[in-house]
Amino acid sequence: MAQHKESHRAKPILDCITGVLVLSMVVGLPVVSWFYHRGVLPFWVAVVLGTLLMNLSFTAWHESSHQNFSKFKWLNHVVGWIASLTSIYPGYFARRREHLIHHRWAGDEAKDPVYSRIQSTFLSFPKVLVDSNRKFNFKNVPKNFHPITRGQRTADLGSNSLVAALVISSMFYGFFNVVFWVWIVPRFFIFFIHAYFICYLPHAVEQGGYQVNRIRRGRWIQRFISVEQNMHGIHHLWPWIPWHQYHNFKSLNSNTILENNIEII
């Protein structure tokens, strides 16, 4: 199968398409903030643009966490860290480990951090999500699975501190309204939008349970909002495939679907 051969594809020095996406977010958010602060952009345009740019944040750090951005591990880490910081969702290395745990033990009630989050109805999901984030026990996961180094822990602490410093300093220097409307409010919206489109919809099962390899043949709006994560099942099966190539794997033969327990809806 072509899908399996893809695992042996040499990773690029730099994935240019993902690079454009990352650059758009990392540069776009400060630019929108500046124009809003200068009164060039009206309030509603700043919020809309901030939300659209923030929507790129998951893909920006997610591709780096799977080393799909570059064949150089250090470059993936740098880009992932910057993307997390820029989208005021710091703690890249801790989030990367949590995400890789999700892949390694997908559907495991004790080890998969996503499992408890989706044991809910569509409407109760936000509350269950917040509660489960606080209660998940990482002690169930082997310590030697992608352990966070001292340097990575320091980097996460640094990004957390920088975000806190940005928010606090904005209050003292008179640009908190910019940070609030262009960064914080879009971050809030996108957190729950991504939670539904990238966590709940790909994995939730009515009456409880878990689906690992689900593909949604979504319309353009779902593809746009999720940045192709309606094909999330493809990502779980072949995580080395970059997000912008998921659509190449829409036509799977029946044997592949059965062998990998793929659900297509």
pLDDT in tens, 203-253: 999 888 899 999 988 788 889 999 999 999 999 999 999 999 998 876 677
Measure Cα distances from 197 to 193, 200, 226, 242 in Å: 6, 6, 6, 18
At position 209, the amino acid (one-letter code) is G
What is the pLDDT averaged over residues 37-52?
97
Domain range for 253: 2-264
**Polymer length of the chain:** 265
Backbone angles phi, psi at 57, to 5 degrees: -65, -40
On the 0-12 / 13-18 / 19+ scale of CB atoms within 10 A, 83 is buried
pLDDT computed for residue 248 by the predictor: 83
On the 0-12 / 13-18 / 19+ scale of CB atoms within 10 A, 56 is buried
**0.75 exceeded by the pTM?**
yes
Predicted confidence (pLDDT) per residue in 114-138, tens digit:
999 999 999 999 999 989 888 889 9
| 74, pLDDT greater than 70 | yes
Closest CA to 86 of 192, 194, 187: 187
DSSP 8-state symbol, 174: T
At position 43, the amino acid (one-letter code) is F
Q: What is the domain count for the chain?
A: 1
> E strands of the chain, at which residues?
214-215, 263-264
pLDDT computed for residue 9 by the predictor: 64
User: Which tops the pLDDT comparison, 58 or 5?
Assistant: 58
Closest CA to 214 of 241, 194, 234, 192: 234
Question: Sign (positive/negative) of CA torsion 226, 21, 171, 154?
Answer: positive
What is the pLDDT averaged over residues 1-27?
79
